Amino acid sequence: MTLDEKVGQMVQVDMPALHDKADVQTYFLGSMLSGGDSDPSDNHSQTWSQAVNEYQAWALKTRLKIPLLYGIDAVHGHNNIDGAVIFPHNIGLGATHNPKLVEKAARVTAEEVAGTGIHWAFAPCIAVAQDIRWGRTYESFSDDPDLVSLLGVAQMRGFQTPLAGGFTVLACPKHFLGDGGTKRGVDQGNTVCDEATMRKMYLAPYRAVVAEGAKSIMVSYSSWNGSKMHGNRHLLTDVLKGELGFKGFLISDWAAIDQLTPSAPSYKKDIEISINAGLDMVMIPYGPDKKNNYVEFINDLKELVATERVPQARVDDAVRRILRVKMEIGLFEHPNAAPGLLSKIGSKKHREVARQCVRESLVVLKNEHNVLPLSKKIKNLAVIGKAADDMGRQCGGWTVCWQGKSGTVTHGGTTLLSAIKKTVSSGTKVTYSADGENLVGADAVVVVVGELPYAEKKGDRRELSLEETDAALIAKAKAVGVPVVTIIYSGRPLVLGNALDQSTALVAAWLPGTEGAGMADVLFGDCKPTGKLPRPWPASNEELNSADFAPNGAKPLFPSGFGLTFDSGTKH
């Protein structure tokens, strides 16, 4: 291979950043991605398949015909695609404590990803989130490294087991290392701890996935004791590649190497530091019309090799790792969309798996007087709260768009309100209002509240109290004097205040995704709740400064592992 061909393999370009489709051939690009908002204008699965296959065709025109490795953030289903099945976010899957189900869900996602011709999913996230004020907490299965390891391995296996016909979706455990431990839960922040703690708490899941066959790993934006992870040769090369024996390749996060020289910004120096530290492929979201773009990267890296500031051997090692993985996943034999899988995107069979995930993820925190399950023959049921009929809030962030949004963000699936109407008897009158104006004559009230959609950075919060409007809605329902069943959509435990006392029953539904019918299955007794908290639930905002919610001897409102059954009202 020429140096141009080698350097091209180390580049990953975001779809909108590509100046010209022919640049895939011109610069021998090894990878492309679609970030959180990088979609074709027509966000249909068929359009995605055609677009990815077209980029692949340009790669196959190069001298060596090395296929393009296309990546996407399929973190809870093939979530960029309108109409795909959206699963509960990882915190909900953590509540299932069910590795076989988590693997099955990842298998469904792999089929939908493969249907659009994409070979690489940037998942699982195996962060061991400690401070729930972090806006990415919902991407973490648990605060327990053992549970994260168990479910992370299961999710990776679900992705990487070859599909029918030999098509394989490459998993990408992320973000190495310590992203869940940043001080005060600040995104891209600083994890302050000694190496023994880093290894015990945050390295453990990576040890597990590497032993299971991880082939790509994404590096974290975060720092460790003030040192950016993208420049940490000790952890990237000595520990991960050396001690753990990782044979795959390391991919940067979105423009993350740009942060390596903050005091005197130098993109060339950023490249030098990160590649020498052990980074193999760089994610570049900018085109030639902006600084720090893929053409600039290519020219700078070639110059760094020519001046021996980046050894040729380091480039050769990076490219060898990338090509080995491309060969191992069968990319050369199956470069295009998997035949027959396009029609499975959003299929009934796939939705049934997501529905099961929803059922098993629900955690019943309170069930006074055994009000749950509700009777399907209840005469008058009032459902209140904007979230009850809002698919966007039900799915959360990373759903079609990066930060997510309220409303009909995707097509297919069922909101909770729609599911309730389909579940109750023909003689039941279900009334709905967003603001609780339909409570007269109700025999019970279902209140659906929780967080608005968000993703990284914008999801960081200083305190986690339930919104005042949500608390007022619960209080309004309580004043009627009938049973109040509160459902909370959230990417982390929220400080409940008076809401717990004012609710007859309270269910943590996390961010359940498109299959609201799974919630109705539990609320009306077709399935018993089995979900258990994957992390402690704090009683107050003051307790959030402590990872174990125990300053001055304080205890969490609910401990990790808590969850009620319908049989006895006791935890299982």
Structure confidence at residue 555 as a pLDDT band (50, 70, 90): confident
Give the predicted TM-score (pTM) of the model.
0.97
Residue 320 and residue 53 in contact, taking contact as beta carbons nearer than 8 Å: no
| Backbone torsions φ then ψ of 123, nearest 5 degrees | -160, 155
Residues 326 and 402 both lie in one domain: no
CATH of the domain at 191: 3.20.20.300
Assigned domain for 88 exists: yes
Assigned domain for 14 exists: no
Residues 422 and 324 both lie in one domain: no
pLDDT digit string (tens) for 462-478? 999 999 999 999 999 99
**Burial of 421 (C-beta count, 10 Å sphere; 0-12/13-18/19+):** middle
pLDDT in the model for residue 551: 46
Q: What is the token pair recorded at 133?
A: 């004020």
Please say which residue of 292, 308, 342 terminates a domain. Answer: 342
pLDDT digit string (tens) for 158-190? 999 999 888 999 999 999 999 999 999 999 999
pLDDT in the model for residue 356: 98
Domain ranges, residue 488: 362-553
CA distance 486 to 502: 9
Nearest partner of 510 among 359, 384, 346, 385, judged by Cα: 359
Let me know if 456 is a catalytic residue.
yes
Residues 445 and 407 both lie in one domain: yes
Residues 306 and 413 both lie in one domain: no
Average pLDDT over residues 410-424: 97
Assigned domain for 21 exists: no
Specify which residues 70 forms β-bridges with: 32
The number of beta carbons lying within 10 Å of the beta carbon of residue 190 is 17
pLDDT in the model for residue 570: 45
pLDDT in the model for residue 546: 57
Distances (CA, A) of 98 to 103, 221, 295, 361: 9, 30, 45, 9
Assigned domain for 148 exists: yes
Specify which residues 444 forms β-bridges with: 381
Average pLDDT over residues 536-543: 93
Pairing of strands 484-489, 505-510: parallel
Residues 216 and 177 both lie in one domain: yes
Residues 252 and 164 both lie in one domain: yes
Q: What is the token pair recorded at 219?
A: 């590096």
CA distance 397 to 415: 16
Question: 143, 258, 270, 456: which is the annotated catalytic residue?
Answer: 456
Please say which residue of 342, 370, 393 terminates a domain. Answer: 342
Residues 182 and 317 both lie in one domain: yes
Nearest partner of 216 among 245, 249, 239, judged by Cα: 249
Given a cut of 60, whether residue 553 has pLDDT beyond it is no
Assigned domain for 562 exists: no
pLDDT in the model for residue 568: 53
Share of the chain above pLDDT 70, in %: 97
Structure confidence at residue 18 as a pLDDT band (50, 70, 90): very high
CA distance 36 to 43: 13
Question: 253, 272, 300, 390: which is the annotated catalytic residue?
Answer: 253
Residues 306 and 384 both lie in one domain: no
| Backbone torsions φ then ψ of 262, nearest 5 degrees | -70, -35
Give, as one character, the DSSP assignment of residue 535.
Answer: S
Specify which residues 485 forms β-bridges with: 446, 505
Given a cut of 60, whether residue 265 has pLDDT beyond it is yes
Residue 493 and residue 536 in contact, taking contact as beta carbons nearer than 8 Å: yes
Given a cut of 70, whether residue 569 has pLDDT beyond it is no
Residues 6+ away with beta carbon under 8 Å from 153: 99, 208, 209, 212
CA distance 304 to 307: 5
Residues 155 and 266 both lie in one domain: yes
Mean pLDDT of the chain: 96
CATH of the domain at 547: 3.40.50.1700
What's the total number of domains in the chain? 2
Distances (CA, A) of 397 to 43, 102, 441, 512, 542: 17, 19, 36, 11, 26
Residue 188 and residue 181 in contact, taking contact as beta carbons nearer than 8 Å: no
CA distance 58 to 26: 9
pLDDT in the model for residue 543: 84
pLDDT in the model for residue 572: 38
Q: What is the token pair recorded at 298?
A: 């290519």
pLDDT in the model for residue 254: 98
Residues 508 and 405 both lie in one domain: yes
Q: Where are the alpha helices (DSSP H) in 181-264?
A: 195-197, 204-212, 233
Given a cut of 80, whether residue 291 has pLDDT beyond it is yes
Assigned domain for 569 exists: no
Assigned domain for 352 exists: no
Assigned domain for 3 exists: no
Let me know if 548 is a catalytic residue.
no
Residues 278 and 422 both lie in one domain: no
Residues 302 and 402 both lie in one domain: no
CA distance 190 to 211: 27
Given a cut of 90, whether residue 416 has pLDDT beyond it is yes
Specify the range with the lowest mean pLDDT, choosing from 208-212, 336-340, 398-402, 437-441. 336-340
The sign of the dihedral angle between the CA atoms of 527, 528, 530, 535 is: positive
Nearest partner of 359 among 470, 507, 476, 214, judged by Cα: 507
